[in-house]
Amino acid sequence: MAKAWTGSRLDLHLDLQLDLQRDLSAAGPAKRRAALESALREAIRDGSLRPGVPLPSSRGLAEQLGLSRGTVTSAYGQLVDEGFLTSRPGSGTAVADVRDPKPPAASPHRFAAVRPEHDLRPGSPDLAAFPLRGWTAATRRVLAAARPELFGVGDPQGRFELRAALADYLGRTRGVQTSADRVVITSGYHQSVQLIARVLRSRGARTVAWEEPGHAIFRDLVAGAGMDVRPLPVDEGGAVVEALSDEGAAFLTPAHQYPTGVPLEPSRRRAVVEWARRTEALVIEDDYDSEFRYDRRPVGAMQPVATCEVVYCGSVSKTLGPGLCLGWLALPSRLVESFVRAKLETEPFSEGIGQAVLADFVASHAYDRHVRAARLRYGKRRERLVALLEEFPSLSVQGVPAGLHVLVTLPSEGPGESEIRAEGEARGLAVRGLAELYQNTEAARQGLLIGYAAATERAYPAALEALAGTLRAVGF
């Protein structure tokens, strides 16, 4: 008979299976103890009770189950002897680790959460450098002053204090002209792209332009929403905007093109704005790593010169970490209602505590301090990486000193991406290939995207050694 009990300090759900078809209280002491032992073993084996989980005291569990304390104590002792439980004076009784030391291999379709030994992939910050002290202080301030509504459904546009803080921050650091009523908070660029595709379709757009090469994951997201995605060539001046025609939107990374690293030159910025005004299209500005420019002040955002045509996108995934799931859109006034409606339709509940903490973190300038420290740290890492690559004259580093990765173009003769990555994988090294970011595979160029932020400070030197060893091993 299955029962759930509450009332003691630790609650525990168990299924006590008795051979006799009668109430537990009618069973003899031996039957009761056997039923309890069996239920605990089964809960541990099937994972309901995980390793390290504390169990109620013998007195507490006895009260929950209507058993004698002696019965529970005897069952606990038996399972400690069998290795299912652990018991230490002063620490109580807890579940032991009886898992299979050889877990089944992960499905190839599952997201790989395990990081490689030497992580030089682009796109992620050093998560070990997350500003825990400042974030904890902001969390305490938020919770100390919290009103009940903080724990409610939430405004689909996002909490006002975060929208206001971001409007101030973006205006000060990126020149973005916006206000709290024109900002929509999202769970990151992934959701931002989903909302953009949804709004574009509601406006009648069916075709968009996407930089080639570009963010393949997000490009596929737009295509999956039913949009026709046309490749927009990229050269040393950024996206070739003269190739735009009747598309409903152009997705661009103008400050630091992903993945080539080149900024969109001024004449092309003007040209794409003129195109958007002439065709009533939108420019989607992904300002994905604008905080990190190492040789001079960052190139400003496009949005200030075309506030009615540009949808400005940002997030904390490259500065704090993608796990916070916090991003934003600075929108033309006429589109705010459409985006809020689209968000409400896809996400009726909006998380509030994280937004409130980020608002405090930004408003207190702790975010500025963290970004400045990260900029210094990543700048030094980039210098070390470029110095290492100079030891291989046939390799060429492309793009301006900015962002969290460098693009290394490969010579036409010699090892290709697949050979280099295979050798690197054998050494525990992970980098990314350029060719996979092309929509038109026939036009794909060979290259490597090497990140310098994801590894920790302690692990970075070994990662560089693994990279150098890989390049030498394949013949560079």
* Least confident stretch, 12-21, 336-345, 366-375, 461-470: 12-21
pLDDT tens digits, one per residue of 4-50:
444 446 777 776 765 433 455 556 778 888 888 888 998 888 888 88
Domain final residue, candidates 335, 368, 401:
368
What pLDDT sits at residue 295? 87
In this structure, the answer to whether residues 344 and 380 fall within a common structural domain is no
- pLDDT above 60 for 429: yes
Residue 208 lies in a domain: yes
Question: Could you tell me the pLDDT band of residue 3, with boundaries at 50, 70 and 90?
Answer: very low
Q: What is the pTM of this model?
A: 0.82
- Asked if 463 contacts 386 with a C-beta cutoff of 8 angstroms, the reply is no
Domain final residue, candidates 340, 368, 396:
368
Residue 111 lies in a domain: no
Residue 107 lies in a domain: no
Residue 345 lies in a domain: yes
What pLDDT sits at residue 101? 52
Report DSSP letters for 220-250, one per residue: HHHHHTTPEEEEEEEETTEE-GGG--S-SEE
Residue 103 lies in a domain: no
Residue 106 lies in a domain: no
In this structure, the answer to whether residues 342 and 415 fall within a common structural domain is no
In this structure, the answer to whether residues 224 and 141 fall within a common structural domain is yes
CATH of the domain at 448: 3.90.1150.10
Question: Quick one: what percent of the chain has pLDDT higher than 90?
Answer: 72
CATH of the domain at 254: 3.40.640.10
In this structure, the answer to whether residues 214 and 259 fall within a common structural domain is yes
In this structure, the answer to whether residues 22 and 88 fall within a common structural domain is yes
How does 174-205 read in b/e, with b if 16+ C-beta sit within 10 Å?
A: bebbbebebbbbbbbbbbbbbbbbbbbeeeeb
Domain final residue, candidates 315, 341, 368:
368
**What is d(CA 398, CA 419) in angstroms, rounded to the nearest whole number?**
21
In this structure, the answer to whether residues 166 and 279 fall within a common structural domain is yes
In this structure, the answer to whether residues 335 and 391 fall within a common structural domain is no
Which residue range is the domain that position 413 belongs to?
118-126+373-473
What pLDDT sits at residue 113? 55
In this structure, the answer to whether residues 296 and 251 fall within a common structural domain is yes
pLDDT tens digits, one per residue of 351-377:
999 999 999 999 999 999 999 999 999
Residue 225 lies in a domain: yes
In this structure, the answer to whether residues 55 and 185 fall within a common structural domain is no
Residue 102 lies in a domain: no
Number of domains in the chain: 3
Q: Is the peptide bond before 125 cis (omega within 30 degrees of 0)?
A: no
- Asked if 449 contacts 213 with a C-beta cutoff of 8 angstroms, the reply is no
Report DSSP letters for 348-381, one per residue: S----HHHHHHHHHHHTTHHHHHHHHHHHHHHHH
**What is d(CA 350, CA 468) in angstroms, rounded to the nearest whole number?**
46
In this structure, the answer to whether residues 298 and 440 fall within a common structural domain is no
Mean pLDDT taken over the chain: 90
In this structure, the answer to whether residues 63 and 144 fall within a common structural domain is no
In this structure, the answer to whether residues 326 and 426 fall within a common structural domain is no
CATH of the domain at 80: 1.10.10.10
**What is d(CA 9, CA 23) in angstroms, rounded to the nearest whole number?**
25
pLDDT tens digits, one per residue of 87-125:
887 778 999 987 655 555 554 444 555 678 999 999 899
SS3 281: coil
